[in-house]
């Protein structure tokens, strides 16, 4: 049951016919895991906490660095040197003390991902490297967990939601990670600071819609965004029978680390 | 020859020998070795790039790798 102050806090939600008191209760009962407390994770964590998602997990092994602050808006200047998950938890609970935040100050790997995602309804990929992106896809597909993929690069971003067994997964698009050392790293390629705000907020919207059971998820279509041209495009996709993880004869049957891609961050401009 | 690439119409000189692979080279597409190509709604397996011809009216999407998010790489 919502208290009087909760009814006031969530009044702009509750007045929406797609949400109402019942939907707000669904958000309270919802459990969302955010992997990465960086550029994408920052707006995701802030908006999910503000929205009253009852349990939010957040995973990242890093500490806040000065060069993060241009885009990772959940971290403030006095947080430099603090674990990102701790910095994020403080802001989330300051926005909304109703929310339970579970922190994982560790990198997500094949050794821990399956056990961690088991506790959540919806997973959000806010990571910066292809090893993690492929691992999250594989683990979520194998566990049947819906998740949101997000990627950003310079002035471009893209996102897709995956409902395993029903819609196209990341490996349906990209069967394997790009080879290590084939491409420049994040710090070389750069990213405009507002970009993860746009893509991360879309990813948070998907989590909220999933918990509410309302609307149409961003499945079987890759949404791409160009900040320079200020254009969104949708590329229709479908599941691929030859997908190595969700296809007819999968070759990937357990989550494993893509060691070759482990230091790969992002690629030259699209 | 007129085709559509990532939502934009592109005019190409006629070339009956043009394949997806040679198109990637001709247009100097970034991430050329890693880009995913969707042809008329179907994602091509990479080995098919060299054998798949480009035809009038084709709708082609180049799908690029994007990393991003937090930044712990070093």
Helix axis angle, A41-51 to A84-95, nearest 10°: 30
Q: How confident is the model at residue A261, as a pLDDT?
A: 55
pLDDT digits over A219-257, tens only?
999 999 999 999 999 999 999 999 999 999 999 999 988
Contacts of A220-226 spanning 24+ positions with Cβ under 8 A? A220/A167, A220/A168, A221/A160, A222/A158, A222/A159, A222/A160, A222/A173, A222/B63, A223/A158, A223/A159, A223/A160, A224/A156, A224/A157, A224/A158, A225/A156, A225/A157, A225/A158, A225/A195, A225/A198, A225/A199, A226/A155, A226/A156
pTM metric for this prediction:
0.93
| pLDDT surpasses 80 at A263 | no
Q: Measure CB to CB from residue A267 to each of B41, B64, B71 and give the nearest one.
A: B64
Q: How confident is the model at residue A179, as a pLDDT?
A: 79
State the ipTM, two decimals: 0.87
Mean pLDDT of chain A: 93
Which token pair is A210?
Answer: 């999933």
pLDDT tens string, chain B, 74 residues long: the values are 999 999 999 999 999 899 999 999 999 998 888 999 999 999 999 999 999 999 999 999 999 998 865 443 33
Nearest CA in chain B to A43: B69
* Domains by residue range for chain B, with CATH: 2-63 (3.10.20.30)
* Domains by residue range for chain A, with CATH: 4-261 (3.40.50.720)
* Residues A13 and A6 sit within 8 Å (Cβ to Cβ): no
In B34-53, the residues whose Cβ lies within 8 Å of chain A are 34, 36, 38, 41-43, 45-46
């Amino acid at each position: 049951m919502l208290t009087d102050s909760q009814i006031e806090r969530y009044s702009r939600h509750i007045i929406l016919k797609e949400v109402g008191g019942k939907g707000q209760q669904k958000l309270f009962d919802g459990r969302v895991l955010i992997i990465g407390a960086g550029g994408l994770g920052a707006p995701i964590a802030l908006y999910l906490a503000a929205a009253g998602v009852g349990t939010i997990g957040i995973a990242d092994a890093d500490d806040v660095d000065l060069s993060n602050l241009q885009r990772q808006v959940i971290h403030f200047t006095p947080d430099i040197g603090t674990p990102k998950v701790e910095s994020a938890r403080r802001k989330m609970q300051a926005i909304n003390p109703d929310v339970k935040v579970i922190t994982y100050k560790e990198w997500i790997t094949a050794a821990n991902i399956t056990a961690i995602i088991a506790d959540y309804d919806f997973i959000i990929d806010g990571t910066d490297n292809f090893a993690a992106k492929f691992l999250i896809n594989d683990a979520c597909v194998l566990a049947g967990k819906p998740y949101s993929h997000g990627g950003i690069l310079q002035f471009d971003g893209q996102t897709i939601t995956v409902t395993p067994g029903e819609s196209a997964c990341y490996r349906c698009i990209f069967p394997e990670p790009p080879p290590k050392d084939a491409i420049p790293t994040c710090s070389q390629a750069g990213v405009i600071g507002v970009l993860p705000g746009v893509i991360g907020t879309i990813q948070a919207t998907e989590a909220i819609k999933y918990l509410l059971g309302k609307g149409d998820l961003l499945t079987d279509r890759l949404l791409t965004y160009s900040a320079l041209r200020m254009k969104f495009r949708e590329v229709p996709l479908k599941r691929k029978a030859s997908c190595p993880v969700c296809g007819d004869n999968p070759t990937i049957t357990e989550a494993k680390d893509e060691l070759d891609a482990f230091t790969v961050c992002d690629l030259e401009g699209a | 020859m007129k085709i559509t690439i990532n939502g934009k119409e592109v005019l190409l000189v006629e070339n009956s020998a043009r394949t997806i692979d040679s198109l990637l080279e001709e247009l100097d597409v970034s991430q050329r070795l890693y880009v995913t190509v969707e042809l008329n709604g179907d994602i091509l397996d990479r080995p098919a790039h060299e054998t798949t011809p480009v035809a009038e009216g084709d709708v082609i999407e180049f799908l690029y790798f994007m990393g991003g998010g937090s930044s712990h790489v070093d």
